[in-house]
Chain A
């Protein structure tokens, strides 16, 4: 659904741009392609690594380790697992829901979802290319620590603490 909106806006803007200035439109498409081609090698590596990681991981076993009685140790484990893997949201949320059904606690799922979306070890090469090593490492560390706060507050509000 959101994809359609995104495509709709893009096509509309492209059409307006084309009628206003053909040359500029061509130039922007060229820039779009260049920006894409520039990052394509890293994209492809990330995609393959994510494939391998997801293939070897086992949702059921993970669900047992991060059970609702697992406490901060479970939160830690969930945060680490979330940091390594990078799953798009539309897979991540159903996976998280499945983990909940398998006995995972809300706090632990909070840490898992948070690091899943904010911390990406596998995507680091892409990030370093644009932001440099120092910022990339610092950003990921801060986001990792922040995920514990998210877990704590979710534990307070939703349940678990």
Chain B
């Protein structure tokens, strides 16, 4: 019980603050609650399949397979796969991090994980169709054309900015996180 309370303490603090906001400014508070409820519904709708797929991946796909296709020596194949998997995803960016943790457990190369995160954040296929209708074909294609090389470059720069030791530590904490 105490452990649960500790884990959720930030949430409780924010919830109490939101409660105060409702009391002080009724209209604004309820508007915030409404949007939060909407996001929550969205989360419940999109998140379950993402996590079930993550569980299936963890149990069924052997580490050797993942290393072969996305590991240290996977080259361009690994980069393309990372972009495709990230782009096929659904849901907000924070859903990508638990998937990335499983990737780390399975020995996926660090830069490929970062490419996957980049693709999830910005080149998602369902979102691209949406962007085309909302902001125009020219806008959407230009952004995509800049984003694909961009996320690859950012991934490589980030892996160079971190030392081998720091990367190893991130992989180690990923091992522990879903235990």
Q: Which residue of A lies closest to B141 (CB)?
A: A157
Known: A52-B32, A88-B42. Contact between A35 and B143, CB under 8 A? Answer: no
A134 to B159, CA, bound (A): 12
B130 touches which one: A31, A93, A114, A125 (CB < 8 A)? A93
Q: Give a binary string over B123-167; 1 marks a CB under 8 Å from any A CB, 0 the rest.
A: 011110011011110110011001100100010011001100010
Contact check, B146 vs A130: say whether CB atoms are below 8 A apart.
no
Contact check, A127 vs B94: say whether CB atoms are below 8 A apart.
yes
B135 neighbours in A (Cβ, 8 Å): 93, 96-97, 100, 109, 113
Number of interface residues of A (CB under 8 A): 77
A77 to B141, CA, bound (A): 24
Known: A32-B51, A132-B170. Contact between A138 and B90, CB under 8 A? Answer: no
B109, chain A: closest CB distance, angstroms = 15
Instruction: Determine whether B31 belongs to the interface, using a CB cutoff of 8 Å to chain A.
Output: yes
Q: Which residue of A lies closest to B13 (CB)?
A: A45
B158 neighbours in A (Cβ, 8 Å): 135, 138-139, 142
Contact check, B97 vs A150: say whether CB atoms are below 8 A apart.
no
Known: A3-B46, A38-B98, A142-B157. Contact between A44 and B114, CB under 8 A? Answer: no
> Total number of A-B contacts with CB less than 8 angstroms?
225
Instruction: Determine whether B7 belongs to the interface, using a CB cutoff of 8 Å to chain A.
Output: yes
A interface residues with partner B (beta carbon < 8 Å): 1-3, 6-7, 9-10, 13-14, 17, 24-25, 27-36, 38-39, 41-52, 54-56, 86, 88-90, 93-94, 96-97, 100, 106, 109-110, 113-114, 117-118, 120, 123, 125-127, 129-132, 134-135, 138-139, 142-143, 146, 149-150, 153-154, 157-158
14 pairs from A and B in contact (CB 8 Å cutoff): A31-B59, A41-B11, A51-B34, A51-B36, A52-B21, A52-B36, A88-B92, A93-B127, A93-B133, A114-B143, A117-B122, A150-B143, A153-B142, A154-B142
B interface residues with partner A (beta carbon < 8 Å): 7-8, 10-11, 14-15, 18, 21, 28-29, 31-37, 39-40, 42-43, 45-56, 58-60, 90, 92-94, 97-98, 100-102, 114, 117-118, 121-122, 124-127, 130-131, 133-136, 138-139, 142-143, 146-147, 150, 154, 157-158, 161-162, 166, 169-170, 173-174, 177-179
